Structure 1
Amino acid sequence: MWVRHENRSTECRVPITPRDARVLVQHGLRLTVEESPQRVFPLTDYVDAGCATAPTGSWTGAPDDAYIIGLKELPSEPARLRHRHIYFGHAYKGQPDALPLLHRLADGGGTLLDLEHLTDERGARRAAFGYWAGYAGAALAVLHWWGRLTGPLEPLSRDELDARLHEVRDADAAGQGVSAVVIGALGRSGRGACDALEAAGVTPTRWDVAETRNLDRETLLAHDIVVNAVLTTRPVPPFLAADHLKADRRLSVICDVTCDVGSELNVLPFNDAATDWLRPVRSLQIGNRPLDVIAIDNLPSLLPTEASDDFSAALIAHLLALGDTDPVWARCREAFTTTLATYRNHPPADGGETFLKRGTAHV
């Protein structure tokens, strides 16, 4: 296994912590960890755990049988990908970068084991960052509502973030209470969002399947903040579209934790672009007043230690079974091979639109 440096400068998390790397090494696995200036854990911790080290970006020369493990997108080179890659590829739901990635894998004979599809038989993820995505996203939303969020963002510990949320809670002594609703409140991300809002002194309205089945948009628009934590794998009617956002709404801040921007599964289709650490908030002029949107696709990296600890602890059992017949990896492989077959049978001659619709339908 080869843990690569993350190409994105704001990605501080790791898929495998030094603590769990030690366990893998003790089970006889060879683990190589690349140098990385932004990783939350120092390279010396991996050396102490028995890992080999390698220069930044040297995974391209790793042995053919290595599993290349990361979290976010690969660099644009090499043009052909020959290894087995484990990371969040986001290549099966019609995302804008799906076609180039599948093309590189098809040309190089590589494989994508997308961590988004590391699921049990019910489709629930076996290792996920959802709780910390929800926590960070809701925290940013309430801090922004109070005028206390500025970019660029920087990684924090939970204690540091909570201290900022407690300042907001204490500032609300005058009774200017923030009204917030979390959609998908019973899931991992939703639970994290609710906990962050509670830390800020905000008692959230909690919506889940029952409430989204017959969505009351008037009630949704009557809140100051909406946090979307719903992950859908099939097209559904949008929760809010541009024509729903009338001028007399109370709603002024949305945090889209799910961040399916560019996908036909986007339940907030009025937002067509992600935000980032440099500019975490995007102000959209809809109707007669602005709507501020936070849509950062690596929110858990704001809390890299806590997020990495939880994710690695869940992933390690499956990494130990990677060469066996673990059904969760079998589902990952099936998702990839089916999508790749769709790609090969329906090449993107029309710019990819037909392929993306076919590919999305299968998953």
Structure 2
Amino acid sequence: MAESTSAATAPLPSSAGPSSSTKPSQALWLRCEKKPHEQRCALTPNTAKTLIDNGFEIFVEKDNVRCYADEEFEAVGCKMVPNNEWYQAPLDVPIFGLKELEESDEALRHTHISFAHVYKQQAGWRDVLRRFRRGNGLLYDLEFLADPSTGRRVAAFGFHAGFAGAAAGALAFAKQKEEGGKGVLKGLEPFENEQAMITYVRKQIESLGEGGVGNVRALVVGAMGRCGSGAVDCFKKIGLKDENIVKWDMAETAKGGPFPEMLDVDIFVNCIYLATPIPKFLTTDFIAEAGKDRRLSVVVDVSCDTTNPHNPIPIYPPVNTSFPEPTVEVKVGEGNPRMTVIAIDHLPTLLPREASEQFSKDLIPSLLQLPERQSAKVWTNAEDLFRKKMGEAEAEDKKEGIEA
């Protein structure tokens, strides 16, 4: 997407409200995403218009990477502001984004609405919360923004994460079979839409011959959830036979692993939500012991608890893979068949517009309650959790003599 040149850039606001006498109920600042290759956005032109129609004032940072052009936001009444200048926004304007902020020691003074990936003691969790503590800022973590009546997340990318994960796994499987089993998947790129993805993935697998896609066998763990249902849906649409899509959930994993059944498929997609420690699904020793009597060659860790100390798939280095380099090799033992892992933590970006639209649409009812966030349970519960995690991080810092 070329850089927008026609969308005017509004001056940075001096307050949350406009200069007119009719002050909106809420201002909101959509920041650009700085994670490499991230094209999704937390608001779309459609959902931004819904908020504007309900009295919101929406500031949008100009961005030449986002899957929506600047002009699309401007056309619905958003006010365009410079790229990556949210830190200059008034402190009473919440900063809205998806992926975590860039690493920095700078204190965070604003209210942020985003995925921070710090509440399950992931790598660097205290560093991030320390920044909020120093700046007296506030985090509403999108992963834990829940319906107060059901406890279910109000919005999630789970379905598209699973769908894209299954597609990426199938592409890695097809590529791995090339060059005498030495092929390596490189350079994943977002697709224009779901049908384009399905057509391309199916073509790659069918090019292998030997019965085509119908011979591929896949296991989805967490199949009853949003993420797992997306993976199952993708496998069906690219042509896997129903009997070759193995669907596991909590009942099948209750006995604890490692699981020999996981070695009897071509592709294993992990879609669980890791809330508490569980026995390992697979280990490198278990894989090596299987030797040549193993079918599994591709693991897709959609859950991506890469740096979580309780990751149930500790078979690859504790780092995420990327779109340019989607896979990492597993140490399988000398002379044994290859196995690779995909651990990309923003897989829905492979379908950026569809994923953004669905997520943002699901989030709208909660965003409409932002003006009442001091009393609306969806927001007060999220703030209470933030305060709790801040306390845990501060307690750990004090043990180690770390000052904010």
TM-score, normalising length from structure 1? 0.92
Residue-by-residue CA offset, 1:24-65 (whole Å, 9 max, x unaligned): 111111110001111001111111111111101110000010
- Pick aligned residue for 1:258 from 303, 322, 338: 303
- Pick aligned residue for 1:322 from 370, 387, 398: 370
Query: Where in structure 2 are the equivalents of 1:1-363 lying within 5 Å?
Result: 1-77=28-104, 79-121=106-148, 122-147=150-175, 150-156=185-191, 157-168=193-204, 170-171=206-207, 174-175=210-211, 177-203=215-241, 204-215=245-256, 217-245=259-287, 246=289, 247=291, 248-271=293-316, 272-288=318-334, 289=336, 290-324=338-372, 325-347=375-397, 349-350=399-400
Q: Take 2:134 and 2:261, find their aligned partners in 1: how far apart are those partners?
A: 50
Q: Take 2:249 and 2:356, find their aligned partners in 1: how far apart are those partners?
A: 27
Structure with more contact order per residue of length (Cα contacts < 8 Å, sep ≥ 6): 1
User: How far 1:173 moved relative to its partner?
Assistant: 5.8
Q: Which runs of 5+ in 1 are unaligned?
A: 353-363
User: How far 1:351 moved relative to its partner?
Assistant: 9.3
Residue-by-residue CA offset, 1:255-295 (whole Å, 9 max, x unaligned): 00000001123111222221001100111222233320000
Q: Which residue identity lines up with residue 280 of structure 1 in the other structure?
A: P
Q: Take 2:282 and 2:101, find their aligned partners in 1: how far apart are those partners?
A: 32
Residue-by-residue CA offset, 1:114-171 (whole Å, 9 max, x unaligned): 0000113443211000000001111111111111873222111212111112314644
TM-score, normalising length from structure 2? 0.83
Q: Take 2:256 and 2:135, find their aligned partners in 1: how far apart are those partners?
A: 45
Q: Sequence identity of aligned pairs in percent?
A: 37
Q: Which residue identity lines up with residue 132 of structure 1 in the other structure?
A: H
Q: Take 2:90 and 2:194, find their aligned partners in 1: how far apart are those partners?
A: 38
User: How far 1:201 moved relative to its partner?
Assistant: 1.6
Q: Which residue identity lines up with residue 286 of structure 1 in the other structure?
A: V
User: How far 1:211 moved relative to its partner?
Assistant: 0.5
State how many pairs are aligned: 352
Question: For the Cα contact (< 8 Å) 1:2–1:67, is it kept in 2?
Answer: yes
Q: Which residue identity lines up with residue 297 of structure 1 in the other structure?
A: D
Q: Which residue identity lines up with residue 74 of structure 1 in the other structure?
A: L
Residue-by-residue CA offset, 1:185-210 (whole Å, 9 max, x unaligned): 11111011011111222231000111
Q: Take 1:234 and 1:120, find their aligned partners in 2: how far apart are those partners?
A: 21
User: How far 1:345 moved relative to its partner?
Assistant: 2.8
- The worse-fitting range, judged by mean Cα deviation, of 65-74 and 270-279 is 270-279
- The worse-fitting range, judged by mean Cα deviation, of 166-175 and 70-79 is 166-175
Question: For the Cα contact (< 8 Å) 1:183–1:206, is it kept in 2?
Answer: yes
Q: Take 2:400 and 2:333, find their aligned partners in 1: how far apart are those partners?
A: 35
- The worse-fitting range, judged by mean Cα deviation, of 165-174 and 77-86 is 165-174
Q: Which runs of 5+ in 2 are unaligned?
A: 1-27, 177-183
Partner of 2:19: none
- For the residue of structure 1 that corresponds to 2:262, the secondary structure is helix
- For the residue of structure 2 that corresponds to 1:347, the secondary structure is helix
Q: Take 1:312 and 1:150, find their aligned partners in 2: how far apart are those partners?
A: 31
Q: Take 1:298 and 1:351, find their aligned partners in 2: how far apart are those partners?
A: 35
Q: Take 1:294 and 1:34, find their aligned partners in 2: how far apart are those partners?
A: 31
Larger radius of gyration between Structure 1 and Structure 2: 2
Q: Take 2:253 and 2:398, find their aligned partners in 1: how far apart are those partners?
A: 35
Q: Take 1:161 and 1:239, find their aligned partners in 2: how far apart are those partners?
A: 29
Q: Relative to 1, partners in 2 of residues 1:166 and 1:34: Cα closer, same or farther, differing over 3 Å?
A: same
- For the residue of structure 2 that corresponds to 1:105, the secondary structure is helix
- The worse-fitting range, judged by mean Cα deviation, of 141-150 and 295-304 is 141-150
Q: Take 1:275 and 1:169, find their aligned partners in 2: how far apart are those partners?
A: 22
- For the residue of structure 1 that corresponds to 2:340, the secondary structure is strand
Question: For the Cα contact (< 8 Å) 1:183–1:229, is it kept in 2?
Answer: yes
Alignment RMSD, CA only? 1.8
User: How far 1:238 moved relative to its partner?
Assistant: 1.5
User: How far 1:13 moved relative to its partner?
Assistant: 0.4
Question: For the Cα contact (< 8 Å) 1:68–1:85, is it kept in 2?
Answer: yes
Residue-by-residue CA offset, 1:38-93 (whole Å, 9 max, x unaligned): 10011111111111111011100000101000000212346110000000001111
